[in-house]
Structure 1
């Protein structure tokens, strides 16, 4: 988009500036000021400034484009407007884009007839209105394709995170299954062997008795090692939330996500881990769809009122509606089923989700 925008600026600005070469220098300002604005708006990196700043840049661009119409009695400046609607489509709703097309198409004939005292340019007005619509349709299609690609990337991240959580859960089940098999099968057979060796060593004569004594001692030592191994395998391995959430955020598009752990987040409960994963997934999805945020922060740690607390914040525009949607309501139900607390808060500075549980171990 950057290269296309620069080519468009050159195609309009160079002939316009040549035509204004004998005019006062201030008449060049709309064209010259548009160049840095185009560079800022079409910059793909969103780490230095967010959407709110871009909205202001786009508003200034729209004003400068209309000002350019008062510098020359020419319709060439409307090419700027066609370029602008292609950019606006990625930031505004379709209805807002249609409104801009209507007012831009209306401003041109008014400027030509009222300011420049030219005949009403019906043909040019209709032509550029159709160009605006074509630019909008193409950009809207690109926006839908980008949204579909982002949704696929997000779904892939969620799948990898769920796979990581299930992998840890399966590993715990395998450890428990192995412990049971060792205890019920190998342990019982060794116990029978020890009993038989004990009887044999008591009734045997030398030198066979010494050999049976060694076998008896070795069998008892082996049984003790198996009991220790069974006890170790029966100890539940905690679920590592950092590994799961790192998989979740690794491929999330368009926003910068950071994680803070105090202390390292682990839990013995698969239900709590699954609920935490779903809370992060829902927050990331809402941020991508609704908030226009560029950053999202996930913080873990204990608090005075709970053993475990997770806080998710973004720097977006907040929620437009005061009532939570189905996603937040479903998440609230999940948390309350586990006797936890769920809260959310929306403000112009961003959206905040908090989840807390009691008696959920998070320490290593």
Structure 2
């Protein structure tokens, strides 16, 4: 038993870099949690029922109760400490075998296969299953008196292997369903972003038209009326003053209209709040400089895509519960900095996949750069985009003075 256990742990250790064989975070629903705990209860009751002595009963209950917190931890954190949890669970299964003659102990082996099926390849489980059966055969060979129950071993082996396939398919389906929901939410947010951009462009076009056409003509009219009232005869003075005042009032109203069209809520903040509102799994903290309301549409879209990619990666690859977005401009309005980080501790920089590569290429189109760094176990994702100084000055002075 000891040599088999050592070999199994050595095999798992040599392949510890292949945890999460499916290369996706594992998520379970309430049905999976319920079936796991129900199976544990059934195995515990069965082992206790068939115990042939009080000592065996005490030992079996102790081992089964020791398995319970392990299962509860795996249910709550299916992606953490996988190798340690798998090794402890398998060792406890082997400890059960010498104290019970019933094959119902293999219920735990089936559970073991189901719980850790997404993390290890089938070959690892075949070795573990055969090892457990060898231990079971060695412990109970004398009681069989040479009549080895091969059929029982075949049935349990079949159950374990089949359960591996079924469990992986269930996890894949759950993750695909979860990803589909997230993609739908991101699509909704993108549609809302495009609608908001279209509406803002229309408002800007109206404000520019009012400023460049009607505003200039009203200004010229006001100047002419001011000159006319100064040179008009006494009997026309009152009428000219009234006309000049009316032109001033109309010009002031035009200024208010243009200002209201330009001085609206920052599109970037508006869209990010919408995206985060559609993602209930994370609590978002959004800190955005108010002057980002004057960013160009292309820059705004680049920052939004960056935040979307970081949000998606956080949901896919972590169990974080909080995410923070910080977007700031320097004092000269020549550089935009956007950083995103979550509350799950990180020690290793993630390998760049297609998403991060595409993001870096998008940022490079604006002569910016994308970086990742770990500070105090916090993974900070940052983009820096250079801005044209005239963009901000033009936006702030375009409103009629």
TM-score bracket relative to the smaller structure: 0.7 to 0.9
Q: Deviations over 1:229-285 (max 9, x none)?
A: 4652674656343332222233337x5343252756835222222122212222233
Judging changes above 3 Å, is the alpha-carbon distance between structure 1 residues 350 and 308 closer, same or farther for their aligned structure 2 residues?
closer
Q: Which secondary structure does the structure 1 equivalent of 2:303 belong to?
A: helix
Taking the aligned partners of 1:190 and 1:124, their CA distance within structure 2 comes to: 96
Unpaired stretches in structure 2, ≥5 consecutive residues: 1-31, 397-401
Deviates more, 1:342-351 or 1:30-39: 342-351
Q: How does 1:80-99 map to 2 (within 5 A)?
A: 80-89=108-117, 91-92=118-119, 96-99=120-123
Report the equivalent of 1:272.
299
Give the Cα–Cα distance (whole angstroms) in 1 for the partners of residues 327 and 350 of structure 2.
Answer: 30
Closer/same/farther in 2, CA of residues 58 and 267 from structure 1, 3 Å limit = farther
In 2, Cα distance between equivalents of 1:162 and 1:87 = 36
In structure 2, the CA distance between the partners of 1:211 and 1:15, relative to structure 1 (3 Å rule), is same
Counterparts of 1:28 and 1:347, CA distance in 2:
46
**Structure 2 equivalent of residue 256 of structure 1:** 282
Q: In the alignment, what sits opposite 1:339?
A: 367
For structure 1, list consecutive stretches of 5 or more residues without a partner in the other structure.
Answer: none
Q: CA deviation at 1:60?
A: 1.9
The 1:232–1:286 alpha-carbon spacing in structure 2 relative to 1, beyond 3 Å, is closer
Please say if 1:26 is aligned against 2:59.
yes
Q: For residues 158-182 of structure 1, what are the alpha-carbon distances to aligned partners after superposition, in whole Å with 9 as ceiling and x for unaligned?
A: 2233234334423332222222443
State the distance in 1 between where 2:284 and 2:219 align.
54
Matched, 1:15 2:40: no
Corresponding residue for 2:155? Answer: 127
Using structure 2 for the length normalisation, give the TM-score: 0.70
Q: In the TM superposition, what whole-angstrom CA distance separates every residue of 1:94-118 from its partner, at most 9, and x where no partner exists? A: xx24134312430243123322224
1:137 is aligned, of 141, 159, 165, to 165
- Equivalent residue, structure 2, for 1:312: 341
- Identify, as 1 or 2, the structure richer in helix: 2
TM-score using structure 1 length = 0.76
In the alignment, is the contact (CA less than 8 A) between 1:344 and 1:353 conserved in 2?
A: yes
Aligned residue pairs, count: 348
CA distance in structure 1 between the aligned counterparts of 2:34 and 2:385, rounded to whole angstroms: 51
Q: What residue is the counterpart of 1:114 in the other structure? A: 138
Distance 1:135 1:249, change over 3 A: farther
Q: Distance in 2 between matches of 1:265 and 1:159?
A: 27
Structure 1 CA distance for aligned equivalents of residues 286 and 42 of structure 2: 49
Pairwise CA RMSD of aligned residues? 4.1
